[in-house]
Amino acid sequence: MIRPRHMPPTACYDDPADKVDVRESSADLVRVLASHALTRCGEWITRGKGGVKNRALRTDIILLSITPQYLPTKRPSAAWVAQEHGVSRQRASELWREFSIYIGPYIQFRGQRFLNERNANRGRLGRNRRANLGK
């Protein structure tokens, strides 16, 4: 809150924003957001049929999207994940795309320029982008 310009010297000015510890509140926010993202990832892993094999495939897709350096290969890709789990490259690519659409509004990962580009307000796009989207 902004302090009024001409305040009498005897006036009491109590600003609640002066009492907020920014470091503590931002740390709590980070914990909440991380917890929500982990919950969403866990829900996505347990979707569908296939049991343990499907969960392992979906876990590797998540690692490929968020932290590819943890996969045991020099050049991680959907094709590598498909080969490791014995599914088609098309199936792995579709799962990767499905995960990026599902989690995109919540976290930003490698290869994603803006957090909510897919859900952006279409009215605020420039003429060229609107034309490319078919509007």
Instruction: Please report which confidence band the pLDDT of residue 66 belongs to, taking 50, 70 and 90 as the band edges.
Output: confident
So what's the pLDDT on residue 102? 84
* More confident position, 72 or 114: 72
Classify residue 66: in a domain, yes or no. Answer: yes
Q: What is the pLDDT of residues 16-57, one digit of tens each?
A: 656 656 666 677 777 877 788 888 888 889 987 878 888 999
What local confidence, expressed as pLDDT, does residue 94 receive? 92
Within-domain flag for 44: no
Q: Is residue 67 part of a domain?
A: yes
Residue 17 resides in a domain: no
Assess if residue 33 is contained within a domain.
no
Is 98 inside any structural domain? yes
pLDDT at 11 over 70: no
Any domain includes 70: yes
Radius of gyration of the chain (CA): 23
Give the type of residue at 53: K
Which positions ≥6 away from 71 have C-beta within 8 Å? Answer: 60, 63, 64, 80, 81
Domain assignment present for residue 65? The answer is yes
Q: 44, 58 in Cβ contact below 8 A?
A: yes
Whether the per-residue pLDDT at 86 is higher than 90: the answer is: yes
Q: Kindly report the average pLDDT of the chain as a whole number.
A: 75
CA 9 vs. chain centroid, Å, equals: 49
Work out how many domains the chain is built from and give that number.
Answer: 1
Determine what percent of the chain is predicted with pLDDT higher than 90.
19
Say what the pTM is. 0.61
Residue with the bigger pLDDT between 38 and 10: it is 38
Q: 104: domain range?
A: 51-108
Average pLDDT estimate for 108-135: 56
